[in-house]
Structure 1
Amino acid sequence: MSTSPFASRERTTKERILGAAEALFATHGFAGASLRQVTAAAKVNLAAVNYHFGSKDKLIEEVFRRRLDELNTRRLAALARIAGKPETQLEDVLDAYIRPALDLSRTDGGGAAFVRVLARAYAEHNETLRRFLSENYGHVLRQFAGEFGRLLPGLAKEDIYWRLDIVTGALTYAMADFGIIQRKTDVAERDHREQAAEHLIRFAAAGMRNPSFKSSTATR
């Protein structure tokens, strides 16, 4: 079935608004970037923003949904291939969680800008956005936590969530590629990304396997 020119224009306008908003939120933050700036960058009027999104909060949510829907679909597909299998290792589950995110951060089409938007979300403590992320993507963390629990039966559920939260923070830092380890000029981008993934997976696995604090204290 063919797509009408009108529908194509609608998608183009919406994508242009989302791209402009993502870039501006990355640079100025959610509070610092105005809808007027978004409309100017996207070369649309305010009515187009209101038509497609309704409000600035909804526009922010759609910026996240555009990236996170794809990311978490890939994560869950990778997890589904290994979950519950006796041969699955902790590193396999971490790979399913970490690698799709690192791939997203290195892709063309705004992936790097989205990483900065994600960092803004952590820094600005936007409760509306926090609630949106929890309601729409909390199930992804729960599925991963369930598989971690299967592989680490000695860890309490609270410990698993603490560690998964810390792994997510380290992953976000790695996605930003702003650390002391910079890609060398003679190293391909793909190889650099692979090194980052391998180091982070090994680091995260060691932390996840560490006994709970209560168990450690009890054995001293």
Structure 2
Amino acid sequence: MNSPHFSTKERILGAAEELFARNGFAGASLRELTSTAKVNLAAVNYHFGSKDNLVNEVFRRRLDELSAQRLEALQQVLSRPAHTLEDILAAFIHPALLLSLDKSGGSTFVRVLARAYAEHNERLRKFLSENYGHVLKEFANAFGARLPHLDKEELYWRIDIIAGALTYAMADFGVIKRRASMSEKIHRERAAEHLIRFAAAGLRAE
């Protein structure tokens, strides 16, 4: 059941997500936020305390669930003795692309995520590393076990490039646009297939 307390907080988060996606983190003002969310500044301060905390919560709202889905998918893959490199990549890529299909703001959050990559916000990068870096480490361990020819630095370079390509695919920035006859879901599945194939080749390269 939605209490007024809950709905106000969610309304602020939803408005912040929209504004951050459109204007960036520095460019979105609290004045715009309160106007968009139809709340006063006291409500923002009550729920979040500061703009930095609000930014953190926008990410936490989506990334907590995404991280859990990725780790669960990874454990399912690793429990199968005959799993492949492509299976590990699918556990990393598919949950993220599903997020971009979420009609309750998922596609907007993808643009926020792209902003996080584009903007040199060290505070935000530190928050994301401290709270979600463990997910990357789990996948790096799984990749590393199948790619003994790569040292740790080279492996992380390649994973970082794959994560960037995934964000690009999630945000649908590419030149290949969805055909009118194709559903968004099928279009995303095609994107996942191509990305997994491409990423696997990149990881296996000498």
Q: Distance in 1 between matches of 2:203 and 2:80?
A: 19
Larger Rg: 1
| Structure 1 stretches lacking a partner, 5+ long | 212-220
Q: CA deviation at 1:188?
A: 1.4
Counterpart residue type for residue 20 of structure 1: A
2:187 aligned residue (186, 192, 216) = 192
1:87 aligns with 2:82: yes
1:70 aligned residue (65, 68, 71) = 65
Q: CA deviation at 1:86?
A: 2.8
Counterpart residue type for residue 204 of structure 1: A
1:159 aligned residue (154, 163, 184) = 154
1:140 aligns with 2:139: no
Q: CA RMSD in A?
A: 1.1
Counterpart residue type for residue 101 of structure 1: A
1:183 aligns with 2:183: no
Q: CA deviation at 1:59?
A: 0.2
Q: Distance in 1 between matches of 2:204 and 2:114?
A: 27
Is contact 1:76–1:140 with CA below 8 Å preserved after alignment? yes
2:14 aligned residue (15, 19, 25) = 19
Counterpart residue type for residue 76 of structure 1: L
Q: CA deviation at 1:116?
A: 1.0
2:25 aligned residue (20, 23, 30) = 30
Give the TM-score, by structure 2 length.
0.97
Q: What is the match of residue 198 of structure 2? A: 203
1:126 aligns with 2:121: yes
| Structure 2 stretches lacking a partner, 5+ long | none
Q: CA deviation at 1:85?
A: 4.0
Give the TM-score, by structure 1 length.
0.91
Q: CA deviation at 1:158?
A: 1.1
Q: Distance in 2 between matches of 1:114 and 1:122?
A: 13
Q: Distance in 2 between matches of 1:24 and 1:115?
A: 13
Q: What is the match of residue 40 of structure 2? A: 45
Counterpart residue type for residue 27 of structure 2: G
Number of aligned residue pairs: 206
Q: Deviations over 1:51-106 (max 9, x none)?
A: 11000000000000001111111000000112264311000000000010011012
Q: Distance in 1 between matches of 2:5 and 2:111?
A: 27
Poorly superposed stretches of 4+, deviation over 4 Å: none
* Identity percentage of aligned residues: 67
